[in-house]
Structure 1
Amino acid sequence: MTPHPPTESEIRQLLAIAMAYDHRKPGDAQVMAWHEASRRALWTFDEAREAILNHFATSTAYLMPGHVTSRIREARSQPPPRAALPSPPANPASPERIRVIVRDLAARLGWVARRPSPQEQAALAYACPYCHAAVGRRCTRQLARGHRRGQYVEIRDLHPSRVELARADQEGQQ
């Protein structure tokens, strides 16, 4: 969309703004000259009004159409102002919010929670003699390759020695 130049009536309004600052007495010839300058330089009324106000805010020079054109071109070369981003929620990573997101994602993907068997549940009451996992914690193993080498990760099943320890203790109590 190409900007349309101000009408003659709008040029008179622009000259009236300038007249308030520098007491010019615009006549028909000046209106025609400004109208021609606005047509050649493709001013819009709003841009020209802003340029005139900015000129008188920063300069005492007598305002000519060339000043308006220069200020409009300068303003057009500036990037548009960025809209302010909305404020994020108070705590976007709160534990409750994370649980809700993970639960919803799991439901969408059709994942079901793996519940420990009664045998595993009983074994979790003991510390693991193999990996030394604490009571109530899952067994772990140390990664031997990759960028996480040396880190400990939980394993899916419990170590057999832990399960056997729990079974032996259960049988010994009976």
Structure 2
Amino acid sequence: MNTEELTMLLARIQVLDNRQVDQLTIEAWAPLLAHVPYPDAVEAVNGHFAESTEYLLPAHITARVRAKRRAELPSTMSEEAPPSCADGAHRWLPDGTCLYCTDREES
């Protein structure tokens, strides 16, 4: 997501929860959501506000995006027992995140 898209996303969030958004907010959120495509982030924000009264954080967005990706896995893959990433056996997604944990692939 680029800065313009992030600004639009934060404006949407601001309308929904009346938070104050300034340049520092944009700069703080930018690295946390850089890997998230804008349409996925909008869908995650909409889902969050439709189902939760919690104060929205970037982690809520990334968790929803990751859950959506897992739901889109072929039915032959089991979510019940995902591989352990403890031994460094991550399954990297195209955006550099691991499907099974919170690690990010270093660029």
Shorter-chain TM-score range: 0.5 to 0.7
Match of residue 44, structure 1, among 30, 37, 49? 37
Displacement after TM superposition at 1:25 (Å): 1.1
5+ long unaligned stretches in structure 1: 1-5, 81-174
Residue pairs, 1:94-173, within 5 angstroms:
none
The corresponding residue for 1:65 is 58
Alignment partner, residue 11 of structure 2: 16
Q: Which has the larger radius of gyration?
A: 1
Deviation string 1:90-144 (CA, Å, 9 cap, x unpaired) is xxxxxxxxxxxxxxxxxxxxxxxxxxxxxxxxxxxxxxxxxxxxxxxxxxxxxxx
How far has the Cα of 1:79 moved from its partner? Answer: 2.2
The two structures have a TM-score, normalised by structure 1, of: 0.41
- Matching residue of 1:78: 71
Structure-1 separation of matches of 2:21 and 2:6: 10
* Aligned residue pair count: 73
Q: Secondary structure at the match of 1:56?
A: helix
- 2:55 and 2:3 mapped to 1: Cα distance? 21
CA RMSD of aligned residues (A): 1.1
Choose between structure 1 and 2 for higher RCO, CA contacts under 8 A separated by at least 6 residues.
2
**Distance in 1 of aligned mates of 2:44 and 2:72:** 17
| Paired AA for residue 63 in structure 2 | S
Q: Deviations over 1:6-31 (max 9, x none)?
A: 11111010001111110011011110
Query: Which ranges in structure 2 are unaligned for 5 or more consecutive residues?
Result: 74-107
Partners of 1:72 and 1:79 in 2: CA distance: 11
Q: How many percent of aligned residue pairs carry the same amino acid?
A: 33
In the other structure, the counterpart of 2:81 is none
For each residue in 1:48-103, what CA deviation from the matched residue of structure 2 results, as whole angstroms up to 9, or x when unmatched?
A: 010000000000111010110100000111127xxxxxxxxxxxxxxxxxxxxxxx
Q: How many angstroms does 1:34 deviate by?
A: 1.2
1:126-170 CA-to-partner distances (Å, cap 9, x unmatched) read: xxxxxxxxxxxxxxxxxxxxxxxxxxxxxxxxxxxxxxxxxxxxx
Letter in 1 for 2:33: S
Give me the TM-score of the superposition, normalised by structure 2.
0.65
